[in-house]
Structure 1
Amino acid sequence: MTGIKVPVPPVVVGLGSALAVATSAGVTYAGRVLGLRRDGPDPLEGLDLAFAADRESVILSHDGIPLHVREVGPLDAPVTVVFVHGFTLRSASWLFVRAELERRWGPRVRMVFPDCRGHGDSGAATAEQSTVELLGDDIVTVLDALAPTGPVVLVGHSMGGMAIFACASRHPELFGSRIVGVGLLGTSAHGLTETGLAANLTNPIIDIFRLVIRYLPTVVGHGREIAKPLIGPLIVAGSYGPGRRSATMERFSSSMSLTVPLATMAGFFTALERYDERAGLATLRRVVATVVCGDHDWMTPLGSSEHMAQELDCRFVVLSGAGHMLIMEAADNVALEIAELVARATVAAS
């Protein structure tokens, strides 16, 4: 079939231009507030950031979405750790944490990295399929297929942590039996409209982000190409802590966000605003837990994480200078906390 190039209507071009100007102003504002700089040498320049896996598989969710999963480590390892990534990211976002843990653990621990529905190499999700509750069900689907026996520790970053809360609310029987520990990194037990960056409606970053993902895709199918230069900088500006940051790391993280279908992005953004899984706190108290937050996290800030840790009566770690993307910018410290969590959880389960 011959492809047909359809011209973009002038109204869309105008909307894209207006959004670009507004985005530029918003990103500049955020960069000034956050103190972000990219001057100086880039320690990651030239590194191969491909996420290699020992094994890859595709598992169907209960509603028919193919979930792509990567694994490293032996099948007969004494414990399995499942890593659930955040909104607009993918399993590769754990690259730096995974490398630190492999140096620490060697072949003793099996690590499982699913791409959430609608993200990475997993199948696309409709707006109705883009919910935190279904992400919680997907965790169980992955466990049933790849880790039906033996102790499991769940680690979630941002939306991934919210998926763990949803899993606890919907499948409480698994916690304290199959699931023996949880790590909650830069996350919250309830909606983003009540905490952090999303609560500050006067902040240009969140205002423009809402506009881009909610309205631009509905105008024409060309929305992705127009939105690409807008969404990436918005996400980066609100993700990192102050001070110098690696341009390579910035490109790596923003490239993940730019591959997420806009329909999925809009669906999950709406779901995250409405999300409330505080009912899962009681279930999570049954297992060993650690809460980690950066002290410059605008999305799920320190106060929210501190309250969550108090409710769980668990270990609470604040990473100085880190933002929402702590699994990249503070990967060594995050890996240390995950290793400590797994050690405590396996001892408690034995």
Structure 2
Amino acid sequence: MSRTELAGGVVEGTITVDGVEVRYFDSVADHFATGESSRHPLVLVHGTGGSTRAHYGYLFPLLAGRQRVVAVDFAPPVPTQGPLTLEHLERQVVAVLDAVLPDRPVTLVGYSLGAVVAAAVAARHPQTVRNLVLVAGWMKTDAHQELRNKVWQRLREERSQALGDYMAFCAFSGPFLVASQALGDSSPALTAFEPNAFTDVQMKLNRTIDISGLVPSIAATTLVIGCTHDQMVPKWHSKALFASIPDARYTEITSGHAVVIERPAQLVQIIDQFTDAPSRDAAGDIVATARP
């Protein structure tokens, strides 16, 4: 295990899990421990092909102003251990929790594939995961997702120049793309994502997701966040999670799947309000959000 201090007091560390080095970031400032806040540390889990920087670069520093924040960067499995599995990613999250926040209850936040991993970790580790936020997540891959994944795979195999456009079309909402075009912004946000071999195995894993047997056992106080214009994980998946978790409440953001880029400030606000008082809204409530 190694740790290096970065600017702003953030620590970058690594820990070995299943023979690979898993990177994490830790804001270190522990408001809960000093009595400044009753909030548990917040642990961020990114989505497919992402990283702390790509998916939480905006959210991390803002959330860290209120509570300790730790973020995990997934690492690919050792090739000789076979294909990537959900359990590989779960073990990486749990190992970081054990190393950085031993015996501490946490609020776990997962986005996209990270939400799938976070839900599975919460189901298996109820004493650790006290609160849970699932953003644009799902329980079981359906035919709609399989078709999108199949088109992505075909374009990837053909090394098609259309892959970037297809990914932007699927990730962002129509209103966001129209506004970006009107502003003359074909923008880094639309073109920065470059798939690699690890992306490929994550996309393959996405085709096989089924945690429907685990989700009903989640005991954490949960907030499920759906995205109104999501074409990658349509909001009916978030509603299914909401319906299946006993202590869940639901809210929606007017965004495409890439909510961490389209509406990061609103996402920060919603997570911040939830972590301030997770049980403010009762289980089963649909929480209204400010209209954009």
Common fold by TM > 0.5: yes
Q: TM-score normalized by structure 1? A: 0.67
What is the correspondence of 1:54-133 to structure 2 with a 5 Å cutoff? 54-61=10-17, 63-75=18-30, 77-78=32-33, 79-92=40-53, 93-102=55-64, 106=65, 108-118=66-76, 128-133=82-87
Note the C-alpha offset of 1:95: 1.7
Match of 2:118 in 1: 164
Q: Bigger relative contact order, structure 1 or 2, given CA contacts below 8 A and separation 6+? A: 1
Q: What is the distance in 1 between the residues matched to 2:190 and 2:108?
A: 22
Q: Is the 8 A contact 2:149 2:203 kept in 1?
A: no
Deviations 1:80-109 (A, max 9, x none): 11100110111111122224434xxx2x41
- Two-structure CA RMSD over aligned residues (Å): 2.9
Q: Return closer, same or farther for 1:346/1:254 CA change in 2, 3 Å cut-off.
A: farther
Q: 1:231 aligns with which of 132, 151, 163?
A: 163
Q: Return closer, same or farther for 1:332/1:76 CA change in 2, 3 Å cut-off.
A: closer
Q: Return closer, same or farther for 1:253/1:115 CA change in 2, 3 Å cut-off.
A: farther
Q: Is the 8 A contact 2:122 2:129 kept in 1?
A: no
Q: What is the distance in 1 between the residues matched to 2:20 and 2:184?
A: 34
Note the C-alpha offset of 1:292: 0.5
Q: What is the distance in 2 between the residues matched to 1:52 and 1:187?
A: 31
Match of 1:150 in 2: 104
Match of 2:134 in 1: 184
Q: Return closer, same or farther for 1:299/1:59 CA change in 2, 3 Å cut-off.
A: same
1:307 aligns with 2:240: yes
Q: What is the distance in 2 between the residues matched to 1:297 and 1:67?
A: 29
Deviations 1:118-167 (A, max 9, x none): 3xxxx876783422221111110110111113220100000000111332
Deviations 1:300-332 (A, max 9, x none): 112121121111141111112x00011221112
Letter in 2 for 1:157: Y
Q: Is the 8 A contact 1:124 1:261 kept in 2?
A: no
Query: Which moves more between the two structures, 156-165 or 89-98?
Result: 89-98
Q: Is the 8 A contact 1:180 1:346 kept in 2?
A: no
Identity of aligned residues (%): 18
Match of 2:289 in 1: none
Q: What is the distance in 2 between the residues matched to 1:265 and 1:95?
A: 19
Structure 1 gap ranges (5+): 1-50, 217-225
Q: 1:318 aligns with which of 252, 267, 278?
A: 252
Note the C-alpha offset of 1:242: 1.8
Match of 1:241 in 2: 173
Q: Indicate the SS of the match to 1:317.
A: strand
Q: What is the distance in 1 between the residues matched to 2:9 and 2:22?
A: 15
| Count of aligned residue pairs for this structure pair | 263
Q: Return closer, same or farther for 1:71/1:161 CA change in 2, 3 Å cut-off.
A: same
Letter in 2 for 1:66: E
Q: Indicate the SS of the match to 2:23.
A: strand
What is the correspondence of 1:253-272 to structure 2 with a 5 Å cutoff? 254-255=191-192, 257-258=193-194, 260-262=195-197, 264-272=198-206
Q: Indicate the SS of the match to 2:241.
A: helix
Structure 2 gap ranges (5+): 1-6, 34-39, 281-292
Match of 1:292 in 2: 225
Deviations 1:157-192 (A, max 9, x none): 0000011133245xx2x21x221111000010112x
Q: Is the 8 A contact 1:294 1:324 kept in 2?
A: yes
Match of 1:283 in 2: 217
Note the C-alpha offset of 1:208: 3.4
The structure with the largest alpha-carbon Rg is 1
